[in-house]
């Protein structure tokens, strides 16, 4: 039948297009990584990761990126710690005290879904207004606070997803043995440790790579901060600022920073993947 | 009903823990409100001087003269977002159908982690890639065929970079929606003699349309708020763009680019905070609507 032949061709054409689309997406990932590595690798050296820049901001030709690397680590460690302090109690409350159908739980989950979608520049602007209100200057502290606000929705969403899958029977068994709800917190947390690690890795990846939120709040500096009230450099801003410099050596630093950041983020994505797989293996 | 009686210490501990966690949860709920209100207070000075309509429709942006017209920036945002959706929607739709309906599990196992990795790459890296690859490509290869001169820093460059950036979000929501469709629907269609492709066209796509629309809205709001990557490749000229090879200046880029000088010119900071407020309100609304639709779909299909 001719009719069927046309149908078959149509399906064939679309299937071809689909495979092409999938390939395009996969290839674009490789293109990005290859472009970054190709430009960044020649600019890499031991000095890049072990020295702070010297000779003046934006113009200095000497030195490396240590200020940005250390700064990013400070910001991420601070904000993830702070973020966990807020997100763990909220997730535990949602899962221990509220039932799946409770209004409060539904509204809270929706609101964090929505907050997750708010762009980091808005959080940056909010952090800035908060900073002005409190009389803070752009500093490590302000940066940590803003990035914490940015990653709390990520932490809550991904820990909640794992904690919801903990069997109800575990909770029931503990309660029937006479435990209070707050006494189940510990075993509950033990159940979701791999989930928490995955969530932390995800939020570290987001926090370390985000420029718009720290642009207003953390400032930028060539030195390593020694207190919470000093401005701090970060890797994304090191890329962003130094790329627009007219001096080739400074631009090289930007490309080297891009390579380092890409490497860190790839490492985080892959290890997050491994941890979450480990968890789904244990879960029966 | 007899309640279990715990020891005094355990009772107090339970109450303390419960109420502090409840307080924290409820506080977190008003957080969005706090952001909105504080941005509103910051943008009030300029709203007192000029009406919102005049600000949004104004074409002239001269902070030193006190002229704050947002129209070029709004157009810039719309152009860049439009182009990015135009590129990414067909790609994502085709790839998502392939991955959820046709692909061998082995292919899924390889491609899904790659989409995850793509999602994890920071915006600033996309920006660097845009500068290294897309911008020269446009100015050297593409633009000479259409216009006399383009630096490459253009709407098209921003659109392409943004398209790649929103692909992971869009495709993973698409796949989730297709996977949430009850398998019985497909089997019913196939058993009536429809081919695989007919089933996809007439059953799968039709049935999942609301979800797909919600996912696109979600992706639009992501593209709306993207800052650094767009800032790096769009050219940042505050004029209303007329072609895809013109530079543009989207709203988030405006905020990010001028934070340094905004405190020294009167009303400047207020104008920038107003644009942050605009972004916040629009994206909040878009997100809330699409999340509600997606949650509903998840509930309806999960039988």
Is residue B239 assigned to a domain? yes
A283: confidence class by pLDDT, cuts 50, 70, 90: very low
A84: confidence class by pLDDT, cuts 50, 70, 90: very high
A282: confidence class by pLDDT, cuts 50, 70, 90: very low
Is residue B193 assigned to a domain? yes
pLDDT at B171 over 50: yes
Q: Which two tokens stand for residue B68?
A: 């704050």
pLDDT at B170 over 80: yes
Judged by CB atoms closer than 8 Å, whether chains meet at B128 and A25 is answered as no
Comparing alpha-carbon positions, the chain A residue that sits nearest to B117 is: A269
Q: Please indicate, yes or no, whether residues B238 and B168 belong to a single structural domain of this protein.
A: yes
Q: Which two tokens stand for residue B134?
A: 């897309």
ipTM for this model:
0.90
- Give the containing element (helix H, strand E) for B67: strand B67-68
How much is the average pLDDT of A110-124?
A: 92
Instruction: Look at residue A270 in the predicted model and tell me its pLDDT.
Output: 87
Share of chain A above pLDDT 90, in %: 42
Instruction: Look at residue A191 in the predicted model and tell me its pLDDT.
Output: 86
Q: Please indicate, yes or no, whether residues B83 and B142 belong to a single structural domain of this protein.
A: yes
pLDDT tens, position by position, B75-96: 989 999 999 999 999 999 999 9
pLDDT at B70 over 50: yes
**What dihedral do alpha carbons B266, B268, B271, B273 form, nearest 10°?**
-110
Domain that holds residue B17: 8-45
Judged by CB atoms closer than 8 Å, whether chains meet at B121 and A32 is answered as yes
Instruction: Look at residue A75 in the predicted model and tell me its pLDDT.
Output: 94
Give the whole-angstrom CA distance, residue A257 versus residue A239: 6
B193: confidence class by pLDDT, cuts 50, 70, 90: confident
Q: Please indicate, yes or no, whether residues B65 and B38 belong to a single structural domain of this protein.
A: no
Q: Please indicate, yes or no, whether residues B170 and B243 belong to a single structural domain of this protein.
A: yes
Instruction: Look at residue A261 in the predicted model and tell me its pLDDT.
Output: 94
φ, ψ of residue A220 to 5 degrees: the values are -155, 145
Is residue B243 assigned to a domain? yes
Give the whole-angstrom CA distance, residue A70 versus residue A64: 12
What is the nearest CA distance from B243 to chain A, expressed in angstroms? Answer: 25
Count Cβ–Cβ pairs < 8 Å, chain A vs chain B: 257
Q: Please indicate, yes or no, whether residues B288 and B173 belong to a single structural domain of this protein.
A: yes
- Of these ranges, A243-257, B13-27, B82-96, B181-195, the one predicted with the greatest mean pLDDT is B82-96
What is the nearest CA distance from B240 to chain A, expressed in angstroms? Answer: 23
Instruction: Look at residue B303 in the predicted model and tell me its pLDDT.
Output: 42
Q: Please indicate, yes or no, whether residues B15 and B57 belong to a single structural domain of this protein.
A: no
pLDDT tens, position by position, A174-206: 889 888 888 888 888 888 888 899 899 999 999
Judged by CB atoms closer than 8 Å, whether chains meet at A97 and B29 is answered as no
Read off the CATH number of the domain in which B78 is found.
1.10.3720.10
Considering only the beta carbons, identify the residue of A31, A216, A266 that sits closest to B133. Answer: A31
pLDDT at B277 over 60: yes
How much is the average pLDDT of A254-259?
A: 92
pLDDT tens, position by position, B15-33: 898 899 999 999 888 888 8
Is residue B213 assigned to a domain? yes
Share of chain B above pLDDT 70, in %: 96
pLDDT tens, position by position, B30-51: 888 899 999 999 888 888 888 8
Q: Please indicate, yes or no, whether residues B285 and B149 belong to a single structural domain of this protein.
A: yes
Q: Please indicate, yes or no, whether residues B36 and B78 belong to a single structural domain of this protein.
A: no
How much is the average pLDDT of B199-221?
A: 91
The tally of domains found in chain B comes to 2
Q: Please indicate, yes or no, whether residues B40 and B147 belong to a single structural domain of this protein.
A: no
Is residue B2 assigned to a domain? no
Q: Which of A212, A262, A263, A274 to mutate to test the interface with B (most CBs of B within 10 A)?
A: A212
pLDDT at A22 over 50: yes
Judged by CB atoms closer than 8 Å, whether chains meet at B124 and A180 is answered as no
Q: Does B90 touch chain A (CB under 8 A)?
A: yes
Answer with the residue of higher pLDDT: B4 or A12: A12
Do the Cβ atoms of A193 and A114 come closer than 8 Å?
Answer: no
Q: Please indicate, yes or no, whether residues B40 and B74 belong to a single structural domain of this protein.
A: no
Residues of B in contact with A93 (CB under 8 A): 18, 21-22, 24-25
Q: Which of B80, B118, B125 to mutate to test the interface with A (most CBs of A within 10 A)?
A: B125
Residues of B in contact with A94 (CB under 8 A): 25
Tell me the whole-structure pTM to 2 decimals.
0.90
Do the Cβ atoms of A236 and A243 come closer than 8 Å?
Answer: no
pLDDT tens, position by position, A62-74: 777 888 899 999 9
Judged by CB atoms closer than 8 Å, whether chains meet at B32 and A115 is answered as yes
Instruction: Look at residue A55 in the predicted model and tell me its pLDDT.
Output: 64
Instruction: Look at residue B124 in the predicted model and tell me its pLDDT.
Output: 93
A35: confidence class by pLDDT, cuts 50, 70, 90: very high
What is the nearest CA distance from A66 to chain B, expressed in angstroms? Answer: 19
Instruction: Look at residue A58 in the predicted model and tell me its pLDDT.
Output: 61
- Of these ranges, B162-166, B201-205, B243-247, the one predicted with the greatest mean pLDDT is B162-166
Judged by CB atoms closer than 8 Å, whether chains meet at B116 and A273 is answered as yes
pLDDT at A147 over 90: yes
- Report the SS3 class of residue A54: strand
Is residue B19 assigned to a domain? yes
End-to-end CA distance of chain A: 50
Comparing alpha-carbon positions, the chain B residue that sits nearest to A210 is: B122
Domain boundaries, chain A: 2-43, 46-282
A44: confidence class by pLDDT, cuts 50, 70, 90: confident
Do the Cβ atoms of A131 and A138 come closer than 8 Å?
Answer: yes
pLDDT at B2 over 60: no
Considering only the beta carbons, identify the residue of A113, A128, A183 that sits closest to B291. Answer: A113
Q: Please indicate, yes or no, whether residues B99 and B165 belong to a single structural domain of this protein.
A: yes
pLDDT at A281 over 70: no
A280: confidence class by pLDDT, cuts 50, 70, 90: low
SS3 letters for B16-52? Answer: HHHHHHHHHHHHHHCHHHHHHHHHHHHHHHHHHHCCH
Instruction: Look at residue A2 in the predicted model and tell me its pLDDT.
Output: 53
Instruction: Look at residue A59 in the predicted model and tell me its pLDDT.
Output: 64
Considering only the beta carbons, identify the residue of B39, B126, B196 that sits closest to A125. Answer: B39
Do the Cβ atoms of B179 and B259 come closer than 8 Å?
Answer: no
Looking at domain A46-282, its CATH architecture is Orthogonal Bundle (1.10)
Distances (CA, A) of B291 to A121, B172, B215, B216, B221: 21, 14, 9, 11, 12
- Give the containing element (helix H, strand E) for A6: helix A2-40
Judged by CB atoms closer than 8 Å, whether chains meet at A22 and B94 is answered as yes
Q: Please indicate, yes or no, whether residues B12 and B82 belong to a single structural domain of this protein.
A: no
Share of chain B above pLDDT 90, in %: 34
SS3 letters for B76-108? Answer: HHHHHHHHHHHHHHHHHHHHHHHHHHHCCHHHH
The mean of the pLDDT values for chain B is 87
Judged by CB atoms closer than 8 Å, whether chains meet at B129 and A36 is answered as yes
Is residue B202 assigned to a domain? yes
């Amino acid at each position: 039948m001719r009719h069927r032949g046309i149908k078959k061709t149509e399906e064939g054409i679309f299937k071809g297009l689909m495979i092409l689309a999938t390939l395009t997406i996969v290839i674009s990932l490789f293109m990005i990584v290859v472009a970054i590595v190709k430009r960044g690798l020649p600019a890499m050296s031991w000095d890049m990761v072990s020295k702070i820049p010297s000779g003046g901001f934006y113009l200095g030709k000497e030195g490396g990126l240590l200020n940005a690397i250390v700064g990013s680590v400070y910001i991420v460690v601070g904000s993830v710690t702070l973020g966990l302090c807020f997100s763990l109690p909220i997730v535990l409350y949602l899962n221990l005290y509220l039932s799946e159908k409770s209004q409060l739980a539904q509204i809270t989950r929706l609101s964090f879904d929505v907050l997750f979608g708010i762009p980091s520049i808005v959080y940056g602007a909010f952090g800035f207004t908060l900073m002005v209100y409190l009389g803070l200057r752009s500093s490590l502290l302000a940066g940590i606070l803003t990035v914490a606000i940015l990653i709390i929705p990520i932490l809550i969403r991904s820990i909640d997803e794992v904690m919801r899958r903990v069997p109800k029977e575990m909770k029931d068994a503990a309660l029937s043995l006479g435990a209070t709800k707050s006494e189940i917190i510990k075993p509950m947390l033990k159940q979701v440790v791999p989930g928490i690690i995955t969530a932390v890795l995800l939020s570290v990846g987001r926090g370390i790579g985000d420029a718009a939120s720290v642009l207003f709040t953390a400032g930028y500096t060539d030195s390593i901060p020694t207190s919470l009230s000093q401005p701090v450099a970060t890797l994304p801003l090191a890329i962003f600022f130094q790329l627009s410099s007219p001096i080739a050596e400074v631009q090289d630093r930007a490309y080297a920073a891009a390579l380092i950041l890409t490497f860190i983020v790839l490492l985080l994505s892959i290890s997050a993947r491994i941890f979450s797989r480990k968890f789904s293996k244990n879960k029966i | 009903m007899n309640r279990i009686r715990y020891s005094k210490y355990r009772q107090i501990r339970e109450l303390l823990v419960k109420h502090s966690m409840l307080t924290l949860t409820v506080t977190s709920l008003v957080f969005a409100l706090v952001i909105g209100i504080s941005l509103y207070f910051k943008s009030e000075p300029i709203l007192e001087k000029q009406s919102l309509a005049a600000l949004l429709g104004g074409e002239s942006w001269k902070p030193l003269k006190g002229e704050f017209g947002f129209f070029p920036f709004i157009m810039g945002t719309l152009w860049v977002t439009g182009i990015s959706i135009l590129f990414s929607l067909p790609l994502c739709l085709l790839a998502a159908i392939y991955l959820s309906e046709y692909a061998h599990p082995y292919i899924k196992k390889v491609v899904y982690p790659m989409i995850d990795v793509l999602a994890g790459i920071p915006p600033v890296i996309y920006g660097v890639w845009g500068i290294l690859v897309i911008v020269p490509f446009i100015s050297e290869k593409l633009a000479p065929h259409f216009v006399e001169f383009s630096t490459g820093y253009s709407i098209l460059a921003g659109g392409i970079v943004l398209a790649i950036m929103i692909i992971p979000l869009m495709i993973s929501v698409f796949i989730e929606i297709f996977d949430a469709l009850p398998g019985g629907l497909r089997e019913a269609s196939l058993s009536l003699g429809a081919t695989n492709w007919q089933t996809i066209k007439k059953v799968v796509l039709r049935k999942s349309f609301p979800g797909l629309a919600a996912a696109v809205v979600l992706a639009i709001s992501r593209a709306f708020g993207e800052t650094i990557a767009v800032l790096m490749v769009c050219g940042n000229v505050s004029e209303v763009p007329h072609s895809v090879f013109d530079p543009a200046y989207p709203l988030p880029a405006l905020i990010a680019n001028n934070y340094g000088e905004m405190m020294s010119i009167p009303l400047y900071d207020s104008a920038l905070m107003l644009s942050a407020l605009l972004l916040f309100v629009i994206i909040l609304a878009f997100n809330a609507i699409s999340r509600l639709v997606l949650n509903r779909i998840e509930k309806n299909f999960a039988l």
